[in-house]
Amino acid sequence: MAEAKLNREYAARVAGVGTLLVGICLWSLYDGQTAWPRQNRVMERVRPALLAPRLTAEAWLSPDGERGTRLDAAFRAQGEKAPAKLVRKLGELRIPDSAPDRDAARAAQLEQVRKTLEQPVYSARDLQTQFVQAAVTLALALCAFAAVGLKAFRRFVADDTGLHGSGVGARTIGYDEIRSVDWARWDEKGIVRLALKNGRRLTLDGWHFAGMTGVVEEILRHRPELRGKQHDTVVAG
């Protein structure tokens, strides 16, 4: 007799993916509900000091002693740290060396810097995206856990009476009911597909279920003519 049941390595990997997705979900919720709104509130407090001097992006990001940039100094005065996203936004506004008219580019940049500093670090859309991401990752995590949970109760048993177990169905499948075996994915994936004479197809997956090699060998012990080569489909009458 041979029995195949949930492969622990497969279960651990899928459950690990599910756990990672739960972590991303919680992190997204934390950012959307706590961390990012807090940075927006900090920005509101520091904004008057940022708008007063009317500096270019290069000036805000220039060194200010040994403790960082002018932007860092403005936030440090409020006991805070400059948001990384604001630093990136200002960095994207730097005037390229290839600009043909630097005076015009500087004037346009000053206006863009002002608009950037007048806005929240994270927009309402940014916050909404985090909640959407949390919902999507949670749904995917639940799917991963469900896949493992459902397979945990499935068994495939092959003995002298035929194939039976919760993975096969309510009744025993006699070996003489097997019409053909598709071996195309057996060598690479450890998967075979049985085609029964009543039209039903049954997949035996050696990655999801440990011990499936023994089940397949038991089938071939009773039906040796079904043995096939890699990528071949062997048909029996």
Whether the per-residue pLDDT at 139 is higher than 60: the answer is yes
Query: 231 or 39, which is more confident?
Result: 39
**Is the predicted pLDDT of residue 229 greater than 60, yes or no?**
no
Could you report the per-residue pLDDT of 162-212, keeping only the tens digit for each? 999 999 988 999 999 999 999 999 988 999 999 999 999 999 999 999 999
Contacts of 128 (CB under 8 A, 6+ apart): 32
Full-model pTM: 0.79
Confidence of residue 233 (pLDDT cuts 50, 70, 90): very low
- The crossing angle, in degrees rounded to 10, of helices 124-152 and 8-30 is 160
Alpha carbons within 13 angstroms on the beta-carbon side of residue 146 total 6
